[in-house]
Amino acid sequence: MSRWSMRFRLGVLLALAAATAGAQRIDPALQACLQKLPHPSAVSDFRPIAHLSSENQDTTLICWSFSTSSFVESEMERLGMPPVRLSVIYPMYCVFLEKARRFVEEKGDSRFSPGDLFAGVLDIVRQYGAMPAAAYEGVKDPHTIYNHAALYRDLDQLMRSVKQMQEWAADGVVARVRTILDRHLGAPPATFRWDGKEYTPRSFADSVVRLPWDQYLLVTSFTYAPFGEFVALKVPDNWKHNANFFNVPLDQFETSLRGAIERGYTVAIDADISEPSYEQTKQYAFIPTTDIPADSLTQGMRERLFDSGATTDDHLMHVVSYRAFDGQDWYLVKDSWRTAWEGPNRGYMFFHSSYIRMKVLAYLVHRDAVPEIARMIRP
């Protein structure tokens, strides 16, 4: 996402070296706060809602595709469809084509980066279709799962040149972007076989994925816009400037998310993961009371953290379970970022309610999972 994009440009190799050098020491004060907080000790402490196993996104910046695709997979299973691992590379491929087109239309003033939000998958499925991972995995480095450093560099160089030379012929620019994508990712197949049948991306989305796309809600909670209305999430990765996030008060935001999990629905989330608890423990995400007392986890505090830049849309993930531990609410979060894979949970994190309140910017959910919010929406 945005912050990772900047760090990526500063040097992926440096980040990888740090990741392999050993676990970061946990600050004693942070550790003390965690010990005072009733908390889970293992993934087995939860009863997860049906979902496919976590995957490591490695040196990609497409958490939005990993998390939202995971959400779609769980929705398919919830609705009684056969489980299928979806390609996370296909939405990425198509999104870059759309970003290139908009970049030209806006004469270089539109954001062109690997980051995106839930729409990066939802809009692409509706516009281009979908395909299983078995049909299109992209190109994998032999020593990693994915390494997109060269891809991002080449795309960035191209778009810088386009802007500098003012090459505003959309078809030509999109064709050049497609050439770079094909070289680094491989061209996606026009047709493929799955479960004994032949499909196109469009027919696969229509006959296999076939979710009720108009029944999903994006929910947020910020005072920069009126509550009870659809608003734009003011983050750089909302490159389309979509104003389709329904804005609700913080207490409603939190209780509806919890209620959705309790009703058996999973939830995809957009969150900040720059906090020490996430980065150091590689297992627990919580706000220490030494940083913000429990009675100060308010709407106003949430807004101040966002306005100051302390909270940004770093990362998208997938919430697959909830449980209270001696009165403390914890969520099991499926996480593709490398930090979660360095920790003991291998692709999962534990998020405390304090982190949900302060650090989750928005979430994606089926409207039936949040009836109290759905009733607030005017026909």
What are the tens digits of pLDDT across the range 136-193?
A: 999 987 777 889 999 999 999 999 999 999 999 999 999 999 999 999 999 999 999 9
Do residues 276 and 243 make contact, with C-beta atoms less than 8 angstroms apart? no
Angle, alpha carbons 9-286-16 (nearest 5°): 30
Percentage of the chain modeled with pLDDT above 90:
90
| Residue 123, phi then psi, degrees to nearest 5 | -70, -35
Q: How many CA within 13 A on the CB side of residue 128?
A: 23
CA angle (91 as vertex; 127, 222 as ends), nearest 5: 85
Q: What's the CA angle centered on 299, arms 230 and 261, to 5 degrees?
A: 70
Distance, CA of 190 to CA of 135 (rounded, Å): 10
Distance CA 77, CA 53 (A): 13
Residue by residue, DSSP assigns 203-227 as HHIIIII---GGGEEEEE--TTS-T
Q: Would you state the pLDDT for residue 140?
A: 86
- The predicted-structure confidence for 195-241, as pLDDT tens digits, reads as follows 999 999 999 999 999 999 999 999 999 999 999 999 999 999 999 99
How far apart are the C-alpha atoms of 30 and 295, rounded to whole Å? 18
Give every CB contact of residue 357 below 8 A, 6+ residues apart in sequence: 250, 253, 254, 287, 297, 302
Query: Residue 24 — pLDDT band, cuts 50, 70, 90?
Result: low
Q: How much is the pLDDT for 120?
A: 97
Q: Read off the pTM.
A: 0.93
**C-alpha closest to that of 256 among 364, 118, 373:** 373
* Amino acid symbol at 233: L
Phi-psi group of 241: left, alpha or beta (phi > 0 → left; psi -120 to 50 → alpha; rest → beta): left
Please compute the mean of the pLDDT values over residues 67-71 and round it to a whole number. Answer: 98
pLDDT at 10: 37
pLDDT range class, residue 43, cuts 50, 70, 90:
very high
Q: Which residue has the tokens 């190799």?
A: 13
> Given this model, what pLDDT does residue 168 score?
97
Give the whole-angstrom CA distance, residue 167 versus residue 170: 8
Q: How many CB atoms lie within 10 A of CB 175?
A: 12
User: Two tokens at 224?
Assistant: 């920069």
pLDDT of 1? 53
pLDDT at 165: 96
User: What structural domains does the chain harbor?
Assistant: 2-374 (3.90.70.10)
* Per-residue confidence (pLDDT) for residue 17, from 0 to 100: 39
Q: What is the mean pLDDT of the chain?
A: 93
